[in-house]
Structure 1
């Protein structure tokens, strides 16, 4: 591709999600990305032939502008919209410039939905983790795929914030009409400085992939044999 995302070199479980999409979704399937940023995941999905809904509220990520980089450098970054145009992918992507937690429903169910390390941001802590997950689940059609990678607690303060979760805890949101397909987790690792984190820092990350598989015998609040 002609342009590069600011997040190009950060660790991601996106290849596992993409492999699941390729296995389960038809050609031209509709995939929503919550927290589209400058297109690290949007462009590969669109280039693969999928119809993508990119939900992002940050004007800098969407339209580009000056960013502060490690080494006390400043540079102009290309936003998602211009990157899509440069790669001739703009017609394959619907950009929704809204706060995911406050936006009106899309009015369409998606074949897959993905988010990367979005709910742990403090700006999203005005809503519970359960609300974030439930809103994402509500976007997935029966038979569709849910994918999320997320930060796990490392510092003591993280253990006090539910949005820094674990695959085991997150699975509790996927009962009844959901089948957890894959959970992964990393050990602690040091990630080099990048935009938004101008010093090297320590992370733990998790992944959960789940399929929406309606089960007519399941009733919330009722014990099923």
Structure 2
């Protein structure tokens, strides 16, 4: 692992962690969710698991998380951080295929940035729990920008995710055509936790998630 500092604008820097296996085939620029930063256990587990599957990761903080604030950045600030992180990954890992996306808030900010202006060298987006709507108020308003994304997208969603009603999400993904793929994880919630009664544990679920991401990336 390599710790980095990424310049975001003239007066803001954020921390990042580059984690790469010896022989990577791709790099995932991996943004965190709204409530936990890049060193959260889920972020670390994903980075470790992807390294085993020959996918490097660049995890990074959004500016608000770097400051220790609980209030997420405005979209323009978050989009600037996404772009700076993608540029950093390109500098560090050169010709590797780049993927971008993240967990929840990080997924949405990355997709919005891509919709506004394509992220240089990014070949596809991977969303780990796309937050389609606030809990308890199913809608598709947060998906309107996705029609402007013209690169492949992978949506990895738990079937019990309260921020993505599958009856709402499935038509959204279908409407995006061949460039969008939906991978559902049975019994998993927004954090990819599963109840004991499912007969599985979080480790098994994460393996399925990461195997699916690797298949999609290299197919």
**TM-score for the superposition, normalised by structure 1:** 0.36
* Structure number with higher strand proportion: 1
Greater relative contact order (Cα 8 A, min sep 6): structure 1 or 2?
1
TM-score by length of 2: 0.37
